[in-house]
Chains A and B, each alone.
Chain A
Amino acid sequence: MSALRLISNRTSQQALSNSDYTWDYEYYEYGPVSFEGLKAHKYSIVIGFWVGLAVFVIFMFFVLTLLTKTGAPHQDNAELSEKRFHMNSFVAEFGRPLESERVFSHQMAEESQSLFHFCINEVDHMNKEEESQKGPHLEKNTHFQEVPKSSGMFEEDLHCLTKFNIPNFVNTEQNSSLGEDDLLISEPPIIL
């Protein structure tokens, strides 16, 4: 590697005398480096590089957090039905009922459960021929099947989402790139 080989031969000459930790690789015709007349601090590249890297990472973090702050939550009762639909799809994503919606919880759970079953059946249809998919399918849908059991682990759901760890959820964006999958989420929930 040129990087290794270009480490100064000079230090390997001194190394025999003072340091017992040497780089012994072949060195090519590069002569010793003169340190006379430096205008800036000799470690300026090191310092500049690390400061630049830190600034870049912090800048990236601020850009990402700014993305989170745009748009305030709005509570509009007129759009309650639309929210019920959205919540259906959201519950379909995480498989746990929202604690804040206990008023509709029974109906919601039933509808959302039916939506899961519909989704799960749909996916099962597609993967019927693949035996090996059953195992991972069950593993990925363990959240779906926990609808009746859990209560109010809302934060946990969003935490899972933001960890991108169990990301197998339905995309409800209007500009979604799903084709026939849109049919699944835009249909009214089917009681099976």
Chain B
Amino acid sequence: NISDFSLNITDCTQVVVPEEVFFTVAAAGILENLLILIAVVRNKNLHLPMYFFICSLAISDMLGSLYKTLENIFIILCKMGYLTRHGDFEKKLDDAMDSMFILSLLGSIFSLLAIAADRYITIFYALRYHNIMTLRRALVILAIIWVFCAGSSIAIALFSYEAATVIPFTILFPLMMFFILCLYVHMFLLARSHAKKIASLPSSTVHHRTNMKGAITLTIFLGVFLCCWAPFVLHILLARFCPHNPYCACYMSIFHVNGTLIMCNAIINPMIFAFRSPELRSTFKKMFYCPR
């Protein structure tokens, strides 16, 4: 009975992203983050808490891109008939992949939080930083974060149909963003007051421009994360609460675009966090340009 509802001309059909675009974006994300991991492992100068947190972010980005790649491969295999759509194995595989994706999202959020907290401690507790944030403590913090994320992701994937999992998940997201924003704004205010002190010296005209740069940097940090992940979070909310509503259905039809945005986040994050460090950049140069 297809003719009654589903072939309405005003339907919102699924917006399709070509497979080549998917695979290119995913591969770029995986490669970039893998490079960062290799660089941090190889250079002993980079065995610092700050870089370990950046590595944690790289790992969660890699997991997100990996998930999308595996999902695409899965679909292609289904299309070609190697896998059935209804088998038990496929359902378990699907569950596993879903939990990988949620792990990636939670890992990203907590890594960003850890990076912000680390920078905050570096600025406001500068001379005691090495005592507060030792290497061992950083590794312990990362272990706790990842165990928590793994447990939550498995729980969410198993119970994803309950409102009780969707609501905390969608509340966690803006809450963490707000907390990270507060940390960075406080750091930013300190930077501004320092710049003002410098500006109070004679013949100094640069403070407006550099504070503008600080505002731009901060906006980019948080704007990129919001723009890449918020569409997907909204999708989850709408899918849980209003799947029959035509407006919601039209929003859900751009699901593939939202997925591509998440993979773009995996490409942009290293540029914002990792490549800003001169030490990491010089490690890359050595890796690629130095004769063996």
A and B interact physically: yes
Interface residues of A in 149-192 (CB under 8 A from B): 154-155, 158-159, 161-165, 167-173, 176-178, 181, 184
Task: Determine if A78 is an interface residue (Cβ-Cβ < 8 Å).
Answer: no
Chain B residues with Cβ below 8 Å from A181 are 125-128
Indicate which residue in B6, B16, B195 contacts A32 across the interface (CB closer than 8 Å): B6
* Tally of B interface residues using CB under 8 Å: 105
Indicate which residue in B126, B198, B249 contacts A169 across the interface (CB closer than 8 Å): B126
A3–B161 touching, CB < 8 Å: no
Tell me, in angstroms, the Cα distance from A60 to B184 when the chains sit together. Answer: 12
Shortest Cβ gap from A162 to chain B (Å):
4
Indicate which residue in B91, B124, B239 contacts A6 across the interface (CB closer than 8 Å): B239
Indicate which residue in B75, B130, B211, B217 contacts A68 across the interface (CB closer than 8 Å): B211
* Tally of A interface residues using CB under 8 Å: 90
Task: Determine if A19 is an interface residue (Cβ-Cβ < 8 Å).
Answer: yes
Indicate which residue in A40, A46, A71 contacts B196 across the interface (CB closer than 8 Å): A71
Task: Determine if B44 is an interface residue (Cβ-Cβ < 8 Å).
Answer: yes
Interface string of B234-250 (1 = CB under 8 A from A): 11101110011111111
Task: Determine if A2 is an interface residue (Cβ-Cβ < 8 Å).
Answer: yes
B157–A34 touching, CB < 8 Å: no
A73–B8 touching, CB < 8 Å: no
Task: Determine if A132 is an interface residue (Cβ-Cβ < 8 Å).
Answer: yes
Chain B residues with Cβ below 8 Å from A158 are 195, 198, 206-207, 210
Interface residues of B in 177-218 (CB under 8 A from A): 181, 184-185, 187-204, 206-208, 210-218
Task: Determine if B135 is an interface residue (Cβ-Cβ < 8 Å).
Answer: yes
Chain B residues with Cβ below 8 Å from A76 are 200
For the complex of A and B, list the 6 residue pairs with the smallest distance between their C-beta atoms, beginning with the closest: A162-B214, A68-B211, A64-B215, A158-B210, A73-B199, A1-B98
Listed A/B pairs (15) with beta-carbon separation below 8 Å: A2-B239, A10-B6, A25-B85, A33-B245, A61-B216, A67-B189, A83-B200, A83-B201, A87-B201, A90-B197, A93-B194, A98-B198, A127-B130, A161-B210, A164-B217
Chain A residues engaging chain B, CB cutoff 8 angstroms: 1-4, 6-8, 10-11, 13-14, 19-26, 30-36, 38, 40, 42-46, 49, 53, 56-57, 60-61, 64-65, 67-69, 71, 73-76, 83, 86-87, 90, 93, 98, 100-101, 119, 122-123, 126-127, 130, 132-133, 135-137, 139, 154-155, 158-159, 161-165, 167-173, 176-178, 181, 184
